[in-house]
Amino acid sequence: MRRVALVGVGQTKFGELWDTSFRQMIIEAGTRAIEDAGMEGEKIGAMYVGNMSAGQFIHQEHIASLIADHSGLAPIPCTRIEAACASGGLALREAMIAVGSGIHDIVVAAGIEKMTDVIAEQSLEALATVSDQEWEAFVGATFPALFALMARRHMHEFGTTEEQMALVAVKNHHNARLNAYAQHHIEITVDQVLQSPPICSPLKMLECASITDGAACVILAPLEEARKYTDTPIEIVGAGQASDTIALHDRQSLVNLRSTREAAKAAYQMAGLRPEDVDLAEVQDSTTISEIIAIEDLGFCKKGEGGKVTEDGMTAIDGALPINPSGGLKGKGHPIGATGISQAVEIALQLRGEAGKRQVKNAEIGLTHNIGGSGGTAVVHIFRRQD
């Protein structure tokens, strides 16, 4: 298998982009990635697009053809990838395989979601479709409710506190203020999180990711050719994907995501690295408990210690292992299909030393963690800067 590198990255601002269409967003993100790679006139071989549900959010299916057309890339093969919130991460994995296998040389991996063109109730209904319809959605279990079950169990087993979970939101909002592309540019306090309206106990409004519009794009090339486009290629050295049950009640544990652990194991093995080798990570924090469980399952701390290490500052930008310097899903925003690609954009910027005020010092190895739904799918990528 050929070694694969990111040579161009781009994304739109995340937020409630009522004046920007679905088509405009993907063109904007793609154009920025192409310009970043200096690829004017270069032949792109294929495109993979992560998108959860354009059919429900904008009533448009067959978006792969639509995007290839409006990006000016037709007739190249363009494939839509759907894996709930992990759609973007899986699109990146498929693009990496396409380049690594030698089938294509230059491949675009993109992600997009336009979620605010429908009313809030319709957005929630769309999001509920990626849970178990018969055993969860039918009885009214929303995603905050499912993660609230995980939070309660984590609190029961390990003594995790609501204050520790609130600190995840505080940290990620702080980081988002330093990111021009982020949805939320406001600092929040632990007290504000704890006093915000309850969504599903113990989770409050300021602990859950927002409804968001946005698109992100990366361009992949063989590492041996990457320096034609960039002075600092970012190699994808590890990748892993795994699945688990959709319904929580069928799982072995509410505080372990088996899909994350198995995807991470595969990615570390492929990269020949260990969790302690990682300098920073972008992980799924659709709720605050999500980040705490993620850093445990990725091996960054022992199971049950995620809340404590957050409280101790390990996960801050200037901590021992910065988590979500972009602001994460909570601060940056969570346009479902774009999230996994946007995570890769952030890691590339960090490893290239181009993250501005949120730059992590001496960053050489980064990791992204993207899960679908409550953990039915997980995708983990590991990146290394090639000087």
Structure tokens at 126: 């769309």
Q: Is 85 a catalytic residue?
A: yes
pLDDT at residue number 127: 83
Each residue's pLDDT tens digit in the chain (387 positions)? 999 999 999 999 999 999 999 999 999 999 999 999 998 767 899 999 999 999 999 999 999 999 999 999 999 999 999 999 999 999 999 999 999 999 999 999 999 999 999 887 788 788 888 889 889 988 888 889 999 999 999 999 999 999 999 999 999 999 999 999 999 999 999 999 999 999 999 999 999 999 999 999 999 999 999 999 999 999 999 999 999 999 999 999 999 999 999 999 999 999 999 999 999 999 999 999 999 999 999 999 999 999 999 999 999 999 999 999 999 999 999 999 999 999 999 999 999 999 999 999 999 999 999 999 999 999 999 999 998
What's the pLDDT score for residue 50?
A: 98
Could you tell me the two tokens for 3? Answer: 């070694």
Own/partner contacts of 318-321, CB < 8 Å, gap of 24 or more, are 318/361, 321/278, 321/279, 321/280, 321/281, 321/295
In the chain, what are the domains?
A: 4-119+212-234 (3.40.47.10), 126-209+236-385 (3.40.47.10)
**What DSSP string describes 78-100?**
EEEE-BTBTHHHHHHHHHHHHHH
Quick one: pLDDT at residue 326? 98
Residue-level pLDDT at 126? 84
Beta bridge partners of 204: 198
| 225: three-class secondary structure by DSSP | helix
Name the active-site residue from 78, 85, 200, 208: 85
* Beta-sheet strands, E only, within 30-173: 46-50, 78-81, 107-113
CA-CA distance, 75 to 277, in Å (whole number)? 42
* Alpha carbons 367 and 236: distance in angstroms, whole number: 10
- The token pair that represents 59 in the structure block: 């009533």
93 backbone dihedrals φ, ψ, rounded to 5°: -60, -45
Q: Which pLDDT score is estimated for 83?
A: 97
The half-sphere exposure of 32 on its side-chain side, counting CA atoms within 13 A, is 18
**173 classed as catalytic:** no
Residue type, 378: A
Closest CA to 335 of 116, 108, 179, 166: 116
Q: Which of 104, 154, 184, 334 is catalytic?
A: 334
